[in-house]
Amino acid sequence: MVWKKVGILFGSVWNGLFMKDRTLKIKNTDRALFCRLIRPGAVLLTRTVKDSFLSRIIQWVTCGNWTHVVVYLGKSFGKYRLFHETIEAISEGVRSQVLDKYLNGKYQIEAWMRDLSDKELTVMCEYLYGREGKAKYDYHGLLSPITLFEQDPDSDYCSELIFNTYEVTGEKCCLKEVEPKIMVSPNDLRRYFVSSSRWYMVTFYC
């Protein structure tokens, strides 16, 4: 386990050396610029500036720094007139939220994006709004590494929702084999984004 974590850490540093041409850093005091740069379909990896005890456990178990993930949809797209700009899976289930929730100085953000067609954005919106307010939080899936419970297809944890959203476009955002008992973490998503030249990043940091 220790050597696995060392290998993943080394791989993250190595990949970081080749991300400079796909990375733009925005100071968290420049909210307006960050909002102008992110695009519909962006995957926002988040972590609190001051990590809680639970956050540190998540970071250790998933071998990375990121503890939560949401998808940004923008204020409007096609037939969708969005009063909320993001959708995420939280303890209350799949919910829409305003982006400002994460721009209050308490979070660090990596916004990962790639070029999306109107067709891809449409099927993503249809999938997400089909689950918003209906799907519950997938505690079984979240605990699958410990309990070996299968993930519940009628509920989602945060990164499961994002993985499944992009899967409807035909893209599997994970380097490892995904099975019903295998959890996809926010850090698994990030490792995939780093490995794919199609994805680029805007980071919102303190």
Domain of residue 165: give its range: 2-203
Which H or E element spans position 147?
helix 144-147
Q: Write the pLDDT tens digit of every residue in 52-77.
A: 655 666 666 667 789 999 999 886 55
Q: What is the pLDDT of residue 83?
A: 53
Give the per-residue pLDDT at 104. Answer: 87
Identify the burial level of 185 via C-beta atoms within 10 angstroms of its C-beta, where 0-12 means exposed, 13-18 middle and 19 or more buried. buried
Which is it for strands 93-97 and 86-90: parallel, antiparallel or unpaired? antiparallel
Encoding tokens for residue 34?
């960050």
CA distance 53 to 202: 27
Compute the distance between CA of residue 12 and CA of residue 94 in angstroms, rounded to an integer: 30
Contacts of 61 (CB under 8 A, 6+ apart): 145, 185
Cβ proximity of 186 and 158 under 8 Å: yes
CA-wise closest residue to 169 among 138, 113, 111, 127: 127
140: β partners: none
| Token representation of residue 134 | 């209906």
Q: Which is nearest to 154 in space by CA: 168, 141, 169, 171?
A: 141
Q: What is the pLDDT along the chain (206 residues), one digit of tens a residue?
A: 444 444 444 454 545 555 667 888 988 888 889 988 999 999 999 998 776 655 666 666 667 789 999 999 886 555 555 556 899 999 899 999 889 889 988 899 999 999 999 899 999 999 999 999 999 988 877 666 555 556 677 899 999 999 999 999 999 998 877 665 567 889 999 999 999 999 999 999 87
Token pair in block for residue 128: 């997400």
- Domain with 105 in it: what CATH number? 3.90.1720.10
The pLDDT score that the predictor gives to residue 8 is 47
pLDDT at 52 (0 to 100): 65
The pTM is what?
A: 0.82
| pLDDT score recorded for residue 176 | 77
**CA separation for the pair 201, 25 (Å, rounded):** 8
Number of domains forming the structure of the chain:
1
**CB distance 64 to 186 below 8 Å:** yes
